[in-house]
Amino acid sequence: MSNKQSQFSIGELDFHWNLDKGRLQFENDDAVLFWIESAMGTLIDTIEEISGEDASNLVLETTGFRQGFVVGEYFQKMKEVTVTEAAELVTNTYAAAGWGKFNIHYLDMQEKKVTVHLKDSWEHKIYSEKGGERSGILIPAHFAGIFTALFETNIWYDVEHYQIEGYNSTVVHYEPSDITVTDNIHRLAREKELDEIMKLEALVEDKTRELEALITKLSSPIIPVLEGIVVIPLLGKYEEKRSEELLEKTLNNLPPYKADYLLLDLTGLDENINNHTVSLIERLGSSISLLGIKTILVGISPKLSRVMVQLGVNLSDFDCFHSLQHGIHYALGQMGRSIIKTN
């Protein structure tokens, strides 16, 4: 042939190069050559960088298995070839293709179990060059795909040890299994979803704690409006924890104001009040009276008053007014004072 075309056989395997067409054929099928450490190593590094270790392992494992299954189907269709013979053909073919030296050390046709020794594979060379302590899983998974097609049953792998760990070769055992690449994909997807959910829950919990702290700090402040008169606005809905915090905060902080009257402003209260809110109003009134302070309820709408009565609040225990302004005027009157409008 010309120097732009070349064809020869190695171990009964045919290679054909055609430089005019930029074409390489291996056993009459198109093939391609890659440098191991640079091209293939960079490919694996890039997958790990983009996907992360868990996802990249799954990508390589799934790719290896599915590629192997295609190879196994090819040999399985060769009806005149037994599984044992096909397995030997596979190892010879891969040795000629530069994948490494692979030997079948054990093959049980009845139980469909195989042990393969993988020595100096291209995957081992990549991870050795990287100086890592682990080896790849693409080639072990690749042979799982091959044997799955040859045995016509799902086969999975178990690595006894890797060559990179100091052994003479990587030893991999194969046997029927319920494990599939599809199941592994779904498992990783669920793990990723669970991880994201846990992160979101943690974020929600953090934000909830921050919000609760802010609400505790800002809600229902004691507001002095006139000498002897303070106002506490009740805002939103009160659950047990929030009710207890308000009650404690009020009793601790109220004495320095030397108030005679406390106006509980219910204007901003959620009209769908619960038993905690009812209990809070009653307990505030009772506790504050022990300090010699009179409680007045203001900002009660007709709807809110009906709900409070239905929930058992005895409004007769309180002086009640529709607006804060009316409550302030009433408190001033009880103290013998009034607001005089001047020109």
pLDDT beyond 80 at 265: yes
pLDDT beyond 90 at 305: no
Q: Are residues 6 and 83 in the same domain?
A: no
pLDDT beyond 70 at 193: no
Distance CA 140, CA 122 (A): 12
Q: Which of 72-76, 136-140, 148-152 is the least confident region?
A: 72-76
Q: Of 154, 179, 204, which one is at a domain's C-terminal end?
A: 179
CATH number, domain of 254, equals: 3.30.750.24
341 within some domain: no
CA distances from 141 to 64, 111, 138, 192 (A): 5, 19, 5, 22
Q: How many CA atoms lie within 13 A of 330 on its CB side?
A: 18
Q: How many residues does the chain have?
A: 343
**51-60, 141-150, 275-284 — which one is most confidently predicted on average?**
141-150
Terminal C-alpha separation, the chain: 118
The number of domains in the chain is 3
Token pair for 271: 């009209």
Q: Are residues 76 and 117 in the same domain?
A: yes
199 within some domain: no
pLDDT beyond 80 at 145: yes
Distance CA 92, CA 326 (A): 100
**pTM (2 decimals)?**
0.54
326 within some domain: yes
Please provide the average confidence, as pLDDT, over all residues in the chain: 82
Three-state DSSP state, 93:
helix
* % residues pLDDT > 90 (the chain): 20
177 vs 219, which has greater pLDDT?
A: 177
With both helix axes pointing from N to C terminus, report the angle between 181-218 and 240-253 in degrees, rounded to the nearest 10. Answer: 30
pLDDT of the residue at 72:
87
Residue-range definition of the domain harbouring residue 60: 36-179
pLDDT of the residue at 216:
59
pLDDT of the residue at 211:
65
pLDDT of the residue at 267:
87
